[in-house]
Each structure stands twice: as structure tokens, then as C-alpha cells.
Structure 1
């Protein structure tokens, strides 16, 4: 079972008939995120493997995983917002238990993203899992 915030996205997607509406929703989620402070956009937070510029900045508070992120591409900012709904606030060990591919598959993302965006999404998930593994 995913985080309640992610379950809300799944429910919202069920009411949207076409992918243009779903893309708009993802983009709006990204626009609603606060931008990452420029001081945090450094090589250590940059995600390799993405066609666009992507930064993920993790925080561990009281054994729970939190992160902020940003991108220079609006759709990728939306994907970061989705990942925040999937992972943010989980206890550290639970981050590694999330089957992101299956959860995101519930949204039909894989078959509706370009191969570059799919690769970037996988790179972000791998970074999140790697950060969690370092602190678990």
C-alpha cells in the first residue's frame, strides 16, 4: 500500500479519461512544489541518467525519509512531485520496501512516458533507494 498522498493521485487519475489531462495534472503538481534552493543544486544532489537537469536533496528526520527536488523540465518536476507523494515521510526501512515500478504502473506512466523520461524516472528512483540504503 502506498502513502495516502500517492493513493489520492491514483484516485484522481482514475477520473481523468485521457493522458493529456493526466499530464496536465502531473505538471500542475510539479508547479505547486516549492523550488529547490539554488545552494542545494550541486553535483552531490544532481541525478545522473536524466535528459534534463534533476536534483534531489534528502533529509532524514526522526528516522523518516524526506526529500526535496527540482528540475529544469516541467514534466520532470511533476514526476518528482509524484515520487514525493510515494516516498516522503516513510520510515527509512520502508523506503526500500516500496515497489515503485508497480505503484507507478498503477498510473500507467511507463507506457505513456518517452524512453528518456522513463530512464530519468528510473534514475531518480535508484537515487532515492540508494540514499535510503545508505541510511538504513
Structure 2
């Protein structure tokens, strides 16, 4: 059920032979992502449960879930970029139907992220699902 943008990442990952190359790709995706305006980095947009500072700012347009995000850690910015490719632009009910764990497992993330990063990733996913539910 992943969007094409996420499927493209899965396809790109298949061509990368080791996790270091994949890690670099995730970081590059984070670098390419536009920074979140400092005015949006407020307690209401901050994600609890992450070792790094993380902010997610949702926007609903025509019944579709959109968000922007940012972090003070490069790998976490990359994880946000992955989540953007997975969730951004979905209809609100579809956000809750995405099996993020299964989709992200296709990238081999769980076995290659520290437990703190994995916990933070889960916190971001839970926050996205909650934001979509709040606005539905």
C-alpha cells in the first residue's frame, strides 16, 4: 500500500549493496528536504519519545494528509524524509491503514538502527497516525 515515492526508495535500496550506502542515501534524502520554519518548531509540533529534537507539522488539504518535519540530527531528518514518502498525500483514512513497520522492514531499517533511533521512528509514526486521526 506504499506510495510510488516510497516504492522508488525501496527500488533504489535494492541496488545498494551494504547498509552504509543505504545509510548515506537516507542522510542525503534528509539533506534535500526543506527545513521547517523555526516558527513551526514549537512544543505543539515536537515529537516526544525521540532522542533527537523532532518536529512534525501537519496540513490537511482536500481530505489528504500532508506534513513537513525537521530534526537536529541528520539521520533523523532522513527518516522523516522516508516517512514523507510513505505518508504525505494520502487520504486521511489511508494514513491509519499503512503498516509502516512492514513497509519500512522492506528497507532493512530495524536491524540497522540503534534502539534509540528505532524508538524515535516508532514515536514519529505514532504521531503521524494520531495527527491524521485528530483531523479526520
Unmatched segments (≥5 aa) in structure 2: none
The normalised TM-score by structure 2 is 0.99
Structure 1 match to 2:125: 125
Structure 1 match to 2:6: 6
Structure 1 match to 2:91: 91
Where in structure 1 do 4 or more consecutive aligned residues deviate above 4 Å? Answer: none
For residues 80 and 47 of structure 1, what CA distance do their matches in structure 2 show? Answer: 12
Aligned 1:21-40 pairs, distance under 5 A: 21-40=21-40
The normalised TM-score by structure 1 is 0.99
Aligned 1:49-128 pairs, distance under 5 A: 49-128=49-128
Deviation per CA, 1:7-33: give whole Å up to 9, x if none. Answer: 000000000000000000000000000
SS in 2 for 1:27: helix
SS in 1 for 2:2: coil
Structure 2 match to 1:41: 41
Unmatched segments (≥5 aa) in structure 1: none
For residues 97 and 120 of structure 2, what CA distance do their matches in structure 1 show? Answer: 21
Deviation per CA, 1:73-110: give whole Å up to 9, x if none. Answer: 00000000000000000000000000000000000100
Provide the aligned length of Structure 1 versus Structure 2. 136
Please report how far the alpha carbon of residue 3 of structure 1 lies from its aligned counterpart in structure 2 after TM superposition.
0.3
